[in-house]
Amino acid sequence: MNNLNVSAALAAGIMILSSAATAGGQQPPAAEPSPPTSTEAPPANGGANDTQTHAVLSITSVEVIRSAHAPALDIIRVRGFVSSAGWEEVELVPLTRGVPADGMLQLVLVARPPEDASDATRYEPVEAILPLETNHPFRGVNVHAETNAVAITAMPGYAESKYVFEDCGQCVGKTFIPKGSSGSSNRAEVVREERLPPNTRIVRPADGMSGRESNPNRLTLMLDNDNRIVAAVWE
């Protein structure tokens, strides 16, 4: 799935520029909304019928494109992955209010997850854009996801993540190897814990399921008594 929520990005861009203008002593148009007052990412409560947005699983690249003709216009383009199919309304949400002391615009890439848990398949690519007004005060941008962040310290520019976790789309039937264990050397037959997302939950036959609150960015692996994976689910 590759969603590009241009209208939401344009609205967010207007909010960013309005806060920057206010910090410089200019008054923004009365009809335009104020930017978010919180410096925290949108809430991520999870659960079936979840109506909230969540940070996407990971950022793969951030690019700032500058128009070739005056007046210059910078456009932020961010690509990433969500854990499964069914995520919608991908957008970049500003965490920065006013002009930051370090000149870095902080953003989070969010989307609305599917209502129900999903079997683990391949990751789904997503992207969003955010235009910035001419003469904006930012020297760079740092974009956050659930598991990583990617920054550009000078605009225009391009940066990408160096590592993406395995998606576990082919995990079922393989043997789970915990961190620190050698196990089989045949990668096709095993799933190593260190290659999975950091908050992966491992459930063995005798384990309870406390803390059952859902999280669409948490992978749960169900094992049998031989450490063989019998189910892989994004909650």
In this predicted model, what pLDDT tens digit does every residue of 53-81 receive, in sequence order? 999 999 999 999 999 888 889 999 999 99
Place of tokens 């659960």: 47
CATH code of residue 230: 3.30.10
- Domain hosting 187: range is 175-234
Q: Is residue 85 domain-shared with residue 148, that is, in the same domain?
A: yes
pLDDT digits (tens, 9 = 90+) for 165-211: 888 899 999 999 998 887 666 667 899 999 999 889 999 999 987 76
SS3 string, the chain, reads: CCCCCHHHHHHHHHHHHHHHHHHCCCCCCCCCCCCCCCCCCCCCCCCCCCCCCEECCEEEEEEEEECCCCCCCEEEEEEEEECCCCCEEEEEEECCCCCCCCCEEEEEEEEECCCCCEECCCCEEEEEEEEECCCCCCCEEEEECCCCEEEECCCCEEEECCCCCCCCCCCCCCEEECCCCCCCCCHHHEEEHHHCCCCCEEECCCCCCCCCCCCCCCEEEEECCCCEEEEEEEC
Domain membership of residue 165 (yes or no) is no
| 4 has a pLDDT exceeding 50 | no
Does the predicted TM-score (pTM) go above 0.75?
no
Q: Is residue 186 domain-shared with residue 75, that is, in the same domain?
A: no
| 92 has a pLDDT exceeding 90 | yes
Given pLDDT bands bounded at 50, 70 and 90, which one contains residue 2?
Answer: very low
Q: Is residue 73 domain-shared with residue 153, that is, in the same domain?
A: yes
* Higher-scoring residue by pLDDT: 37, 142: 142
The number of distinct structural domains making up the chain is 2
pLDDT over 90 for what percent of the chain? 55
